[in-house]
Amino acid sequence: MSDRSATGGFDASGIDEEAWTELEKQLEATIPVYDRVNRIMTLGFDKGMRRHVRNHADKGMKILEVGCGPGSFAVDLVGMELTCLDPSAEMLKVCKKRLDESRSSRGESQATYIEAVAEDIPLPDNTFDRVFCLFSFRDFRDKKQGLSEMLRVLKPGGQLIICDAGKANWLHGIFGRIYMATFVQLVARWVTKDPNHPWKWLARTYTHYGTHGFYKSMMREVGYTDVKARLLFPGMSSRFKANKPE
């Protein structure tokens, strides 16, 4: 196990329990203004990023979103059989309310909601065509274990798509840290009117987040094939995709 004492419990492979429990509290505190802050801090590019990720799935597919949060991505998955997983009961409550309304207005069956962590998914092997993970991989306690659980529940030939804050390499990470420490903090403070707003914790998880190369190797080690990573325009977020062998 890594010694993360010098960083308050964080490194690129995971997060210690105490730090993660506090992070979860901070994430829940973002709920009332989550979409608004995201929209402003990405200058509106969040919509396009989510659309890009969504286009990896087709109607009729069985989908799992891991770390669904308040449903910001899941709400626009149309014509798919959907399972939303998150360890936060509070997040799931908001997600369910939002999705139940939009799915029933489209005449679709309700989604399934599961309170659990990515590292221990209480679902059978070989179940999903796609597993999506947007802006939650950074928060996993044990990234390798989470990747291996997501592989287990994918059908052979299925695909994992992860989208998170962009960190192509260490140089790009320096620009990202400046952006997180300045513009993002100003926006969050202005919207929340709170100098101790929860985006301070999100900047912390970005600081300790790994690069494309780090997670691509981890995905291959776990057993994924065709592992790819790229920045999404204009470079604020990264998209990984990786397949489960047939």
Ligand X SMILES: C[S@@+](CC[C@H](N)C(=O)[O-])C[C@H]1O[C@@H](n2cnc3c(N)ncnc32)[C@H](O)[C@@H]1O
Q: Which residues bind ligand X (CB under 6 A)?
A: 24, 27, 66-69, 72-73, 86-88, 91, 117-119, 134-136, 139-141
Is the CB of 75 or the CB of 242 nearer to ligand X?
75
In the complex, minimum distance from the CB of residue 11 to ligand X, in angstroms, rounded to a whole number: 15
CB of 67 to ligand X, least distance (A): 3
Which CB sits closer to ligand X, 29 or 61?
Answer: 29
- Minimum distance between the CB of residue 147 and ligand X, rounded to whole angstroms? 11
* Closest separation in Å from C-beta 87 to ligand X: 5
Compute the least distance from the CB of residue 116 to ligand X, in Å.
Answer: 7
CB nearer to ligand X: give 7 or 145: 145
Whether the bond into 234 is cis, omega within 30 of 0:
yes
Cβ-based nearer residue to ligand X, 118 or 180: 118
- Residue 102 makes CB contacts below 8 A (sequence gap 6+) with 75
Which residue, 7 or 26, is less far from ligand X as judged by CB? 26
Distance CA 200, CA 189 (A): 10
For ligand X, the closer of residues 14 and 158 by Cβ is 14
Question: Are 229 and 212 spatial neighbours (Cβ–Cβ below 8 Å)?
Answer: yes
| Closest separation in Å from C-beta 55 to ligand X | 15
Pairing of the two strands 154-165 and 128-134: parallel
Residue closest to ligand X when measured from CB atoms: 69
